[in-house]
Copies of this chain bind each other. A is one copy, B any other.
Amino acid sequence: MSIARRDVLKMLTAAPFVGLSGVPRLHQPGRTAAGFGPAPANVWRVFEEPFLSEIAFPLGGIGTGTVSLGGRGNLRDWEIANRPDKGRDLDNTFFALWCREQGAEARTMILESELAPPYRGAFGIPRGRLPGMPRFREGRFLGSYPFARLELSDPRVPLEVSLECFNPFIPGNDKDSGIPVAIFYWHLKNRSNSVVDATVMASLQNMAGVDTLGQNLNRFVDAGALRGLHMTTRKVPADHADFGSLALATVHTDITYTSRWDRGEWFDAQSLFWDDFSKDGRLETVAESDPSPENRTDVGSLGGLLRLAPGEVKTIPFVLSWYFPNRQNYWGEEIFGYDADRSGPIIGNYYQQHFDDAWDVARYTTENLARLERETRLFHDALFSTTAPPEILDAVSSQSSIIRTETCFRTKDGTFYAFEGTGDDHGCCPLNCTHVWNYEQTLAFLFPALERTMREVDFGHNTEDDGFMVFRSRIPLGTPKWDFPHAAADGQMGTVVKLYREWQLSGDFEFLTRLWPKAKAALEFAWRDSDPDRDGVMEGVQHNTYDIEFHGPNPMMGAIYLTALQCASEMARAVGDDSAGETYARLAEQGRGALDRETWNGEYYVQAFDRAQEEKYQVGAGCLSDQLLGQWMAHVAGLGHVLPEEHVKSAIHAVYRHNFKETLEDHANPQRIYALGDEGGLLLCSWPRGMRPLLPFVYSDEVWTGIEYQVAAHLIYEGYVDEGVRIVRAVRNRYDGQRRNPWNEVECGNHYARALASWSLLLALSGFHYSAPEKRMGFAPKSEEGRFVSFWSAEPGFGLYEQERTATTCEVTLKLLYGSGLELEAIDLPVVSAAVEVEVSLDGVKRAANALVENGKTRVQFDEAARLAAGSELQIHLRTAS
């Protein structure tokens, strides 16, 4: 029994991806979702006990904070008041069901699956959310960001119940992707042979005022299409950081409610609520709006009633909205720690430009719900129609949530700021850290306008005239800058590359010319600092994302520098600074050779520093996973190989071969622990040829998802698709709902920004590039014959690329699904053969074009620019010339 039990558990542990082998391969078709038809294959990641406890699916918009849906259907981690707040549960806040099948006894249940062990607590398990009440025996959680789904069933209940919830997420539309709201659809299906009466009851504690309790006011509002509870505070002044409001509302018309529960002692409130609700599915209405007593807040409940014929399905929608306008800089000027400063400056929230209070948010959401949901599904369905392995869609979609967690925020003026990640109750570390955000691609491709505000801060505020860039921001802008002595070599050069990316994705020439002078200074700062001999290879003190300094020539800093030089060369030429452009290009060419000579060991690149054994925290002869970070950035930017292609291919495969472990059971890691035991992961470094320094760089034995994604995407770019997918699978198996939360990849903080490198997996699979200045888009799918589909996005909007290949033809459809319009003069496509014929039509109308095959791609040039509006389809048919 001993061995068998262990084996069973191991099998269970790996369940969500069990059955997947071979790469790429799709999710198994979803099992039938409780009575509502089959869940689409490849879309939903499905979780059951014991994979529920760690799930916390964030519901909220960009810069609004989130409340999360737990794996059992519990609302958890109320991080809506402008602070990370893991573990903040709201007492007496849950959905509950009352139902009565005709002729049978009524039943009252909390709309969650049963609590799973352990049952900890010195005074019994925490009882804020009525853990002693009956719950559903069977529960499944399905995630497909930004949509979550919960399925509940129980032999004691004549209904099948499911919940769908989301927050609008529409790439390119940052306003509607930043609404402080969560939308819940409760679907009930009568699986009995009799009529069933039912009530779905939502209860919510008034947390306006956050921890300042007393004079909380719950008011019932019946306003046209919408009715429900508006929760405010009279105690906290309107300009205070804790000031806010919440709303709980529905468009359902047959309702029951109470503006507040009983205020008695002991457990009176819970007892009386439950007994009252259980009696007939209705509450004794308390309609008056008297503020709560000192040091107490109130709970309000709103229920929707309905009657279901046998087999009938009906839905009750709820909107939960919040409004905490006064985001505060509570961390002051601290960088590596913080003492909450309750008198810190108020920096506000962008959403206060659009809304007056939580009820206003609920009203706007409801009035626009059809459109918000349609556009969100348009994005979601397009993303998930990508023919990518399920692990990749899971990684890309789940981690895109990071930009909507408390890792990121928008000040009142709309500027987007971000920590690296968050501690459980504070951002960590402040702010816009250039080297961590080097890895991020999701925001850049989905919300390029927000990404550009980061460059405005980088170059507009944090770069000194001599080019020294402070790599962490203090806000409000104008606050004395951080006085760390080093520039971040990787962050500083990476930011030049990112400026190039933003310019390419947007074509915003004004933006480029405005920031260029500081970007130029930032690049040339290297000549003063780390490349004083100006040979195109960094060799000085190179502070970097490992929080230490490398010395001597090394591929990581070297390749970023080469990529930055190449980007800067193109930008310089674009703004008319041709001489600088030429200098940079020459230096890049020179550095490319020098770096390769100095750091290539015949298999991969190493640090060329002769004191690597004596000096603490170096790499030396090690095989660094990040060695080609700069090359990956170059691929994303569409620059091709900045180092010799055959060496790049050899090195990135060496990283996989030496650093990726299918199990870490034999790995001894005295550092921070993000993967362990029987889990797989990519080590940051290894020393396959020995010569490991006594104390190598401080994170060398760790496993970071951001670097795993970077390397996986790079492997795919270089054609090692299987290897890349294996790494991604290892990551996502670590985040399986039992081990860790699939919607929170942790590094130095929750929702860590480096994991936004995940977006590059899509880019690598599709080979998507877009140059707005040149009005050219390109795709180079890692796909042979057959059908390939990929989501794509850039400043003009988002859409789908669909390709059907045979040995001699390639049928391509480019769709713009949403956006302001896309103008293309050319499109780069795969090579079908050395000479091709091309046919082009836009929305069914033939267009003249020619096709030229060179540099490994087929460039289709339109005689006249093609202008796609949202909904347009551009069709291109390539065939071997006859």
Residues of A with Cβ closer than 8 Å to B? 2, 5-6, 8-9, 12-13, 15, 31, 48-50, 53-54, 86, 108, 114-115, 117-125, 127, 130-135, 137-138, 140, 156, 264, 266-268, 270-272, 274-275, 278, 421-424, 428, 617, 665-674, 676-678, 694-695, 698, 701-702, 734, 738-740, 746-750
Is the beta-carbon distance between A123 and B748 smaller than 8 angstroms? yes
Complex A-B, nearest 8 residue pairs according to Cβ-Cβ distance, in ascending order? A132-B669, A270-B670, A117-B739, A124-B672, A266-B698, A124-B673, A132-B673, A271-B670
Query: Which B residues touch A746, using CB under 8 A?
Result: 121-124
Query: Which B residues touch A114, using CB under 8 A?
Result: 665, 677-678
Is the beta-carbon distance between A48 and B6 smaller than 8 angstroms? yes
Query: Would you give 29 A-B contacts (Cβ < 8 Å), ordered by A?
Result: A2-B138, A5-B48, A5-B49, A6-B49, A8-B8, A53-B118, A54-B118, A117-B738, A117-B739, A118-B740, A119-B740, A120-B740, A122-B424, A122-B750, A123-B672, A123-B746, A124-B746, A127-B672, A132-B669, A132-B670, A132-B673, A156-B666, A264-B695, A266-B617, A267-B698, A271-B671, A274-B668, A274-B670, A275-B694
Query: Which B residues touch A31, using CB under 8 A?
Result: 2
CA distance A138 to B1 in the complex (A): 13
Is the beta-carbon distance between B676 and A132 smaller than 8 angstroms? yes
Is the beta-carbon distance between A5 and B15 smaller than 8 angstroms? yes
Say what secondary structure dominates the interface of chain A.
loop
CA distance A137 to B140 in the complex (A): 30
Of the listed residues A135, A264, A617, A670, the one surrounded by the most CB atoms of chain B closer than 10 A to its CB is A670
The chain B residue sitting closest to A114, CB to CB, is: B677
Of the listed residues A131, A266, A701, A747, the one surrounded by the most CB atoms of chain B closer than 10 A to its CB is A266
Query: Which B residues touch A156, using CB under 8 A?
Result: 666
The chain B residue sitting closest to A669, CB to CB, is: B132
Task: Select A749's contact among B123, B137, B674, beta carbons within 8 Å.
Answer: B123
Query: Which B residues touch A48, using CB under 8 A?
Result: 2, 5-6
CA distance A246 to B424 in the complex (A): 34
CA distance A424 to B123 in the complex (A): 9
Given the known inter-chain contacts A122-B86, A134-B666, A270-B670, please indicate yes or no for A117 contacting B13, CB distance below 8 A.
Answer: yes
Q: How far is the CB of A155 from chain B (nearest CB, A)?
A: 11
Is the beta-carbon distance between B123 and A739 smaller than 8 angstroms? no
CA distance A667 to B274 in the complex (A): 12
Assembly stoichiometry (copies): 2
Q: Give 13 A-B pairs besides A6-B49, A118-B740 with Cβ atoms closer than 8 angstroms.
A: A86-B122, A121-B746, A122-B421, A122-B424, A123-B672, A124-B672, A124-B702, A132-B669, A132-B670, A267-B670, A268-B695, A271-B695, A272-B695
Q: How far is the CB of A245 from chain B (nearest CB, A)?
A: 28
Is the beta-carbon distance between B695 and A132 smaller than 8 angstroms? no
Of the listed residues A114, A117, A750, the one surrounded by the most CB atoms of chain B closer than 10 A to its CB is A117
Query: Which B residues touch A738, using CB under 8 A?
Result: 117-118
Q: How far is the CB of A865 from chain B (nearest CB, A)?
A: 50
Given the known inter-chain contacts A133-B668, A266-B698, please indicate yes or no for A676 contacting B125, CB distance below 8 A.
Answer: yes
Is the beta-carbon distance between A49 and B119 smaller than 8 angstroms? no
CA distance A746 to B326 in the complex (A): 42
Q: How far is the CB of A476 from chain B (nearest CB, A)?
A: 26
CA distance A677 to B13 in the complex (A): 23
Of the listed residues A119, A137, A665, the one surrounded by the most CB atoms of chain B closer than 10 A to its CB is A119
CA distance A6 to B8 in the complex (A): 12
CA distance A665 to B267 in the complex (A): 20
CA distance A266 to B546 in the complex (A): 12
Task: Select A115's contact among B125, B267, B677, B747, beta carbons within 8 Å.
Answer: B677
CA distance A596 to B430 in the complex (A): 73
Q: How far is the CB of A260 from chain B (nearest CB, A)?
A: 17
Q: How far is the CB of A222 from chain B (nearest CB, A)?
A: 30
Is the beta-carbon distance between A670 and B130 smaller than 8 angstroms? yes
Query: Which B residues touch A127, using CB under 8 A?
Result: 671-673
Query: Which B residues touch A13, using CB under 8 A?
Result: 117
Is the beta-carbon distance between A120 and B54 smaller than 8 angstroms? yes
Q: How far is the CB of A866 from chain B (nearest CB, A)?
A: 48
CA distance A130 to B701 in the complex (A): 13
Task: Select A668's contact among B53, B119, B132, B678, beta carbons within 8 Å.
Answer: B132
The chain B residue sitting closest to A666, CB to CB, is: B134
Q: How far is the CB of A545 from chain B (nearest CB, A)?
A: 15
Is the beta-carbon distance between B667 and A132 smaller than 8 angstroms? yes
CA distance A135 to B665 in the complex (A): 8
Query: Which B residues touch A734, using CB under 8 A?
Result: 119
CA distance A694 to B13 in the complex (A): 46
Query: Which B residues touch A428, using CB under 8 A?
Result: 122
Q: How far is the CB of A695 from chain B (nearest CB, A)?
A: 6
CA distance A6 to B12 in the complex (A): 10
Q: How far is the CB of A255 from chain B (nearest CB, A)?
A: 24
Query: Which B residues touch A124, using CB under 8 A?
Result: 672-674, 702, 746-747
Is the beta-carbon distance between B50 and A676 smaller than 8 angstroms? no
Q: How far is the CB of A821 from chain B (nearest CB, A)?
A: 43
Q: How far is the CB of A116 from chain B (nearest CB, A)?
A: 9
Q: How far is the CB of A34 from chain B (nearest CB, A)?
A: 11
Is the beta-carbon distance between A49 and B9 smaller than 8 angstroms? yes
Q: How far is the CB of A140 from chain B (nearest CB, A)?
A: 8
The chain B residue sitting closest to A738, CB to CB, is: B117
Is the beta-carbon distance between B665 and A137 smaller than 8 angstroms? yes
Query: Which B residues touch A49, using CB under 8 A?
Result: 5-6, 9
Query: Which B residues touch A750, using CB under 8 A?
Result: 122
CA distance A424 to B122 in the complex (A): 6
The chain B residue sitting closest to A697, CB to CB, is: B266
Query: Which B residues touch A673, using CB under 8 A?
Result: 119, 124-125, 127, 131-132
CA distance A127 to B699 in the complex (A): 13
CA distance A240 to B312 in the complex (A): 72
The chain B residue sitting closest to A12, CB to CB, is: B5
Q: How far is the CB of A47 from chain B (nearest CB, A)?
A: 11
Query: Which B residues touch A2, using CB under 8 A?
Result: 31, 48, 138, 140
